[in-house]
A and B are shown apart, each in its own frame.
Chain A
Amino acid sequence: MSDDVLLRATDVVKNFASRRKVNGIRTLNTAVAGVSLEVKRGETLGIVGESGCGKSTLARCLVQLLPVTSGSVEFNGVELTTLSRRKLRPHRRQMQLVFQDPYASLNPRRTVGDIVADPMRINKIGSDAEIASRVRQLFETVGLDPSSLRRYPHEFSGGQRQRIGIARSLSLNPSLVVADEPVSALDVSVQAQVLNLMTDLQDEFNLTYLFIAHDLGVVRHVSDRVGVMYLGEIVELGEAEALYETPLHPYTEALLSVVPELNDTDAPRRERIIISGDVPDPSDRPTGCSFHPRCPAATEICTSEKPAFVELRPGRFVACHHPRNTDSVASTN
């Protein structure tokens, strides 16, 4: 594994037993359907996709909070999926999660100081005094007043709680922070504060981020590279600017075309592509390309043959029989 890759996932699959039955047999809900990706050291890889497409499940599989059904996850060159719990522990410490809900993810009965100190105590890192001073330092780092250590989560606003969650995730000096919708529950002005904070912390501590969100603007803003998920698969992946400017997958193209824009310049608006219908049930996946029932570009082959996830241009991967905008990609390269 080349040095600059921190995490590599290969063909990761996660099945859940679904509630749907066919002929009395429970079908499988394939929440993650064969995802391969690499996260490079120091970068932010954004994952964007609509509700239920498997973003959170993928995140949990990558940090080994959920066992994968099949596939491999290598972290710092070590295969994690086959490790015992004990052997996994030092690697797990290197990967921390920040959750969406700043209300539900903090224990309401512990002081915020304890919440940030707990990971260090559990992992027996440092003396009590060392831990206490590190907690104060972390509070300052994320822009909270250390004099509020003894207060409880409900005494803080949403944005402050998310800062506490971030302080907790940094307490063990991780190399990878997996943030699952870290700003989705926040108002725009508070969201901007937390996003700027995360950018600053990345520079300061040389962090690698896997940043998950459904908000296309947020993902573009924070990411160096972006993967677009649909029904458990990554259908397109590439450098953020290139992907947003010239989407290749019809799903990415449609998704970007319908993001409400501010129209504050005279530049013409992208033509809106409104795709009809709903996302299919993941326990009843379409044949061929899983996007074909809703795809404006679909042809016969799309219904029968699954498109491979190929590197169409250097660093640009797409799973589609009829990629869009290929002329403009050719001309800009």
Chain B
Amino acid sequence: MRDLSVSFATRQGVVQAVDGLSFDVGAKEVLGIVGESGSGKSVAMYSMLGLVRDANVSISGSVRFEGREILGLSDTEMQSVRGGEIGMIFQDPMTALTPVYTVGWQIVEQLRAHNDMTKKQAYVRAAELLAEVGIPDPKSRVKHYPHEFSGGMRQRVVIAMALSCNPKLLIADEPTTALDVTTQAQILDLMGRLQATHGSSIVIITHDMGVIAEIAHRVVVMYAGRPAEIGPEVEVVRAARHPYTWGLLGAVPRADVKSRRLVTIPGNAVSPLDVPTGCAFAPRCQYRMEICDQRPALRGANDHVDACWLSDEQRLAIRSTATQRGAS
């Protein structure tokens, strides 16, 4: 993805939902996108897949999938990519499932849309897929309707659907946010195992740094539609560079260690109608300088970059004195 920008013309003004987002996803890589509500995570993914159905949207930039430009493909061309080479998992499994058809029927339709298969073959494959995602008694479960499944089981069904065409890339938008911890663990474990066996790449969107640490190899931290920091998961979690990432890490109350007073980021999230022209985080940043009125570019060592004007010396000084967990 290169320089993706997405804006909506609304009555209140222009909503800049995504502003200059670039990243790469390698083969078999799990890329995590983390950021708070409204930071543009979903819009970025949906616009890349041609799923933003809004007449007032304008999208620019470039998204290449295996070298082929997919931004701006026609609906029919895009449909063969979605659900074929690129699979999707949503936060609410019911957005991907139709309540009036059995889950078997829905997987079969998906399979037959992208493969040359008889109905019978497709039903056999559907049951296999349900077994693969850990649904007990799959042969009879294919005949059940979505409402007869629990939330965690529905998400498994959606994963089975997403995997049905052996996608090379799986995009998961908050796949576990609506689930309990024990169910979340089941689903993350399942995704990890399937990724290993199918060898797909995954882009997982979440607002939970813990989920990122659990599953992602690399991470994009988003703030106000822009990338604040991009780097390997271990480095971003242990040696974050951007003040927003420091705040984000320090604000999480932890179950694994006794926490001290939580780090708070003063103020509220920026309005997407009114993103500062300089650094988007400047109004809430305790280290802001005069130069922060200009927009910082992403810079740093080749695989760990961030958009902040602080020099390496300043960051070192802050880290040695700061109480922030993320900065220490």
Contact = CB atoms under 8 A, between A and B. Distances in A.
B181 A216 contact: yes
Interface-centre pick from A191, A217, A222, A272 (highest chain B CB count, 10 A):
A217
B152 A221 contact: no
- Size category of the A interface is 35 or more
A196 B264 contact: yes
B59 interface: no
A195 B268 contact: no
A167 interface: no
A241 interface: yes
A276 B181 contact: no
A326 interface: no
B189 A220 contact: no
B207 A188 contact: yes
A199 B259 CA distance: 13
Given A214-B181, A220-B255, A241-B258, A189 B208 contact: no
B269 A262 contact: no
Contacts of A222: 253
A221 B259 CA distance: 6
A333 to B, nearest CB: 19
Contact of B262 (A195, A261, A274): A195
A159 interface: yes
Interface in B248-277: 248-259, 261-265, 268-269
Interface in B212-235: 213-214, 234
Interface residues of B, number: 45
Given A217-B255, A220-B253, A259-B255, A192 B264 contact: yes
Interface string A249-272: 000001110111111110000101
A300 interface: no
A308 interface: no
Contacts of B262: 192, 195-196, 221
Interface string B293-328: 000000000000000000000000000000001000
Contacts of B102: none
Nearest to B186: A274
A192 B182 CA distance: 24
A193 interface: yes
Interface string A192-235: 11011001000000000000001111101110000000000000
Given A188-B248, A276-B186, A260 B325 contact: no
Given A216-B181, A274-B189, A260 B253 contact: no
Nearest to B34: A188
A190 interface: yes
A262 B188 CA distance: 15
Given A187-B37, A220-B253, A264-B238, A258 B185 contact: yes
A192 B324 CA distance: 13
B36 interface: yes
Contacts of A190: 268
Nearest to B188: A260
Given A260-B211, A261-B210, A191 B256 contact: no
A220 B259 contact: yes
A214 B249 CA distance: 20
B153 interface: yes
A196 B261 contact: yes
A312 interface: no
Interface string A161-199: 000000000000000000000000001111111011001
B247 interface: yes
A256 B255 CA distance: 7
A118 interface: no
Contact of A188 (B185, B188, B252): B252
Contacts of A264: 213, 237-238, 249, 325
B42 to A, nearest CB: 15
B251 A189 contact: yes
A151 to B, nearest CB: 15
A187 B36 contact: yes
Contacts of A278: 150, 152-153, 183
A157 B269 CA distance: 9
A247 B282 CA distance: 43
Contacts of B189: 272, 274
Contacts of A217: 252-255, 259
Interface string A274-308: 11101100000000000000000000000000000
B148 interface: no
A157 B36 CA distance: 14
B205 interface: no
Contacts of B36: 187-189
B248 A275 contact: no
Nearest to A195: B262
Given A261-B210, A262-B249, 8 more contacts: A189-B247, A189-B269, A192-B253, A258-B184, A259-B256, A260-B214, A261-B254, A264-B213
10 contacts: A188-B209, A196-B264, A215-B253, A217-B253, A217-B259, A220-B254, A220-B258, A264-B238, A274-B185, A278-B153
